Chain A
Amino acid sequence: MSHGWVQCRIGSFDLEANWSIEPGEVLVLFGPSGSGKTSTLRAIAGLLRPQRGHIEIGGRVVYDSDSGVSQPTHRRRVGYLTQRYNLFPHLNVVRNIGYGLRDWTSTVADERVRELIEVLRLDGLEQRRPWELSGGQQQRVALGRALAPNPELLLLDEPFASLDMELRRIFRRELRSTLAESKVPVLLVTHEREEALAFADSIQVIDQGKPLAQGNPLDVLGQPGQERVANLVGVENMFQLTIESRNHHDGTMVCVGGGLRIEVPLDTGPAGVIEPPTGNDESVTVGIRASDIILSHQDIRGSTARNRLPGVVTDVELMPPGYQVKLDCGQSLRCQITGAALDEMNIRPGMELWAVFKASSCFLVEALTQTDAPT
């Protein structure tokens, strides 16, 4: 079990972080750049000294401000993969991977390096220097180098930042299977939602040096309960609406505003973040993910979807992996569709379409309050 908390002051930036990683688990630290993610990793690795804190790695206390314990980086047994990989340019692949094994007997060390070269599919590249490798190969060598000395915690800092989009998809799957095999607990830092979803056993959202939300990745990223988190994870549609009526029997309520009229669940918000509103005139913020909306030519009658809104296409925009269609249904609704769907339906601006989505695709978002508004 690796866990801890730190308080750091870096220039005028205040960082308060805490984390807890079960054995074999991947914890994703999710936040925009400058939110303090990398500093948290550096504090855990002992490369940045916190003002206060308590850090345990694999059950060992490596830092404790109260008792004055502070182990140097080279005794902490963490593997650290940086954004740019930082392979040693004066060493070949074998020597890069074996760099941390100097204290091992040479036969055992050689065996370990061979094993990693095989697992990471680097055969044939043993004698290459870092600049003779592709971005993906560099990442695998850096990963091998970090894993070789059997770290008790692996820190990954935006491991895909220096790869292009195509490669990310491939290497994401690769890295995940390598991590699953090695069973090392991982703390991964990213600002990409897809990456977070692909890796996280559990997730923590951090912004401006403070943890905002924590929990199951699908809950936290899929239907975030707080507006700041929703903004960070990129919820495409958020509307300020007023509750018109409530149907306790169905567990839904009807919300209206700005020409929209949609049915949303009564008891929403993950893990009771939000108190269900009680008055009828209350205003709420409703979030809907663009990918949860179906577009159709005709009104789909006789379906279970509670929301069917007619609208006019105002804009079609390339948004990998597909397209984003803006539909004016009174308010502009963003819908994510595939390229195939775009072609088959021949969607273009001016076209009249229906947007269809379930009531349960809608979720309430706790609006920014004065206290946690960004300063």
Chain B
Amino acid sequence: MALSMRRRFFAQPSAAVGVGAGATLLYVAFIGLPVVALLIKAAQQESFFSSLTSGTALTAMRLSLISSAISMVVIVLVGTPFAYLLARSRSPWLRLVDALVELPLVMPPVVAGVAMLMAFGRRGVLGPPLEDLGITLPFTTAAVILAQIFVASPFYVRSAKLGFQSVATDHEDISRTLGVSPWWTFWRVTIPLAAPSLLTGLALSWARAISEFGATIMFAGNLMGKTQTMPLAIMSAMETSLDTAMVLSVLLILGSLTILVTLGIFARRQWQGAA
């Protein structure tokens, strides 16, 4: 079926190109229009800068930046060796774990938040032992970070795993024959060669963490200055003033774009594709 369709497309390339061009236009308009509309509407309002510097906006911005930065540090520190193991090991157990990594990607964030409450909440599985240690997680900044790690880490781990898989073991082998231990080989060969994938994964993961909403509101709540990140602040602002919500939205878009573009530039090494 699919094959016969493909044949028909190849037999009539002009028709295929026409359909493709139409679909592309439609798609670009569909994605682009809301973004452009948001930018125009935000630019038209007079109170742009006052909304920007309002206490709510600044506090939410600071919390989003700090929490997502901490999430990224944790994700990179734990996710990198984990991804390397996934890429190099052939154990069937790890293949099971590998499938598990994808789970948060298909799980609705709200469900993830409920699940985290069930695990770390006061009446959750780990609630009592945590309470004995004097640790309360739900509705704290720590909960914001945990929620971000939960939903955002798969993006990094998956990309890093693919990156490590693309590094030829021959390069690592050669390094070892040159008297360089496996540990230093990892730092001097594997990491630099996988760097583009690591940075791409980091960018995607960071963008996902900054925009995290569902799991956060379930597990961490919406407390200004404590758990109210940008997306939560936008929702709260919608109830009182659409203007503030718009300004915050524009900021969030610009922030995410900056991360994507900056890391994307680092990720595009010259030898990609030239090798």
Contact = CB atoms under 8 A, between A and B. Distances in A.
A189 B44 CA distance: 73
Given A89-B275, A90-B192, A72 B178 contact: no
Contacts of A131: 271, 274-275
A76 B177 contact: yes
Nearest to A129: B271
A149 interface: yes
A114 interface: no
Nearest to B193: A90
Contacts of A149: 178-179
B14 interface: no
Contacts of B175: 88, 99
A86 B179 contact: no
Nearest to B174: A86
A86 B275 contact: no
A90 B193 CA distance: 7
B70 to A, nearest CB: 30
B171 interface: yes
B15 interface: no
B170 interface: yes
A45 B177 contact: yes
A156 interface: no
A74 B270 contact: no
A131 B275 CA distance: 6
B180 interface: yes
B168 interface: yes
Contact of A80 (B173, B182, B192, B193): B173
B274 A99 contact: no
A252 interface: no
Interface string B153-185: 000000000000000101101111111111011
A80 B180 CA distance: 13
Contact of B179 (A47, A103, A130): A103
A88 B171 contact: yes
A145 interface: yes
B170 A74 contact: no
A237 B160 CA distance: 56
B185 to A, nearest CB: 8
Interface in A69-112: 72-80, 82, 84, 86, 88-90, 99-100, 102-103
Given A130-B275, A131-B274, A79 B177 contact: yes
B176 A82 contact: no
A217 B177 CA distance: 29
Contacts of B52: none
A82 B271 contact: no
A77 B275 contact: no
Contact of A100 (B171, B178, B269, B270): B178
Report which residue of B181, B185, B271 has the largest number of chain A beta carbons within 10 angstroms of its beta carbon: B271
Interface string B185-206: 1001100110000000000000
Contacts of A100: 178-180
Nearest to B191: A90
A47 B171 CA distance: 12
A78 B179 CA distance: 9
A153 to B, nearest CB: 10
A80 B175 CA distance: 10
A74 B178 CA distance: 6
B274 A86 contact: no
Contacts of B178: 74, 79, 99-100, 145-146, 148-149
Nearest to A100: B178
Given A90-B192, A100-B180, A131-B275, A82 B269 contact: no
B176 A72 contact: yes
B168 A86 contact: yes
Contact of A73 (B173, B192, B274): B173
A116 B181 CA distance: 24
Contact of B181 (A46, A74, A76): A74
A47 B173 contact: yes
Contacts of A99: 175, 178, 180, 188
A349 to B, nearest CB: 44
A100 B179 CA distance: 6
Nearest to B171: A86
Interface of B: 168, 170-171, 173-182, 184-185, 188-189, 192-193, 269-271, 274-275
10 contacts: A72-B181, A73-B173, A77-B179, A88-B175, A89-B193, A99-B178, A99-B188, A102-B180, A103-B179, A129-B271
Given A47-B173, A102-B180, 18 more contacts: A42-B173, A74-B176, A74-B180, A80-B173, A80-B177, A84-B170, A86-B174, A88-B175, A88-B189, A88-B193, A89-B274, A99-B175, A100-B180, A129-B274, A131-B271, A131-B274, A148-B178, A149-B178
7 tightest A-B contacts by CB?
Answer: A100-B178, A73-B176, A89-B271, A131-B274, A80-B177, A90-B192, A86-B170
